[in-house]
Amino acid sequence: MFICIKHGDNQQFLANINCSVLLLMHYLRDKVGLERTDPIDLCEENGTLKLLFLVKFPEDNASKFLTPRGTYYVCKVERGAPGTKQENSYRAFRPIFKYPPSDLLDSLRNQCDFLEKSRLKMLKSQDGKKPPTMESLLSSMAGQVVGRSSGKAGAGASSSLDEEGMPRKITSAAKARLEASRKDKHR
């Protein structure tokens, strides 16, 4: 399963999408001459971003997100300056293409604005709430693992909370089970 990648001055190449998103992104950066740490994404010819840089599990197969025989542009993701308050903000998506169509640029600009507004809205909703502790994160993750393994989507999440709705303390046995399930998952 291959896709066509357009970049530079009307250059193009094929990329195999039967691999992990992480591997595909490393390959694309190398082919278009970007640094390994440069955040990139792909967009369709109409400008629709695939948001691969936000994929929760980069080890997922890229074919899950991309259409075989599709044509895509590589876009550099521009974020705020590191070390500033705006370092996580979305500034722009710049196609690595010499003469991108104006409708493509408009679409990318609109999506960037939408992502930034969504990010700010999420931050606003988190104001006033204390940040989760490592213990509460491990506890909720353990609940999710239990819920997945038993086939019950919601049961694990509710069992990780005590009577007051606060995250339960995770026991050393639960931590060991969590670590074992993580190791099994990555094999």
Same domain, 95 and 176: no
- Structurally, the chain folds into a number of domains equal to 2
Please give the model's pTM, rounded to 2 decimal places. Answer: 0.63
Same domain, 104 and 57: yes
Same domain, 148 and 175: yes
Same domain, 165 and 181: yes
Q: What DSSP assignment string belongs to 110-165?
A: HHHHHHHHHHHHHHHHHTTSPPPPHHHHHHHHHHHHHHHHHT-TTHHHHHTB-TTS
Alpha carbon 123 to its chain centroid, in Å, reads 17
Q: Give dist(CA 25, CA 77) in Å, integer.
A: 13
* pLDDT computed for residue 40 by the predictor: 94
Q: Give dist(CA 27, CA 15) in Å, integer.
A: 8
Per-residue pLDDT of the chain (187 residues; tens, 9 = 90+): 899 999 888 899 999 999 999 999 999 999 999 998 899 999 999 999 999 999 999 999 999 999 999 999 999 999 888 888 888 888 999 998 888 888 999 999 999 999 999 988 888 887 756 555 555 555 555 555 444 444 444 444 444 455 545 455 556 666 666 666 666 655 5
* Domain interval for residue 160: 134-185
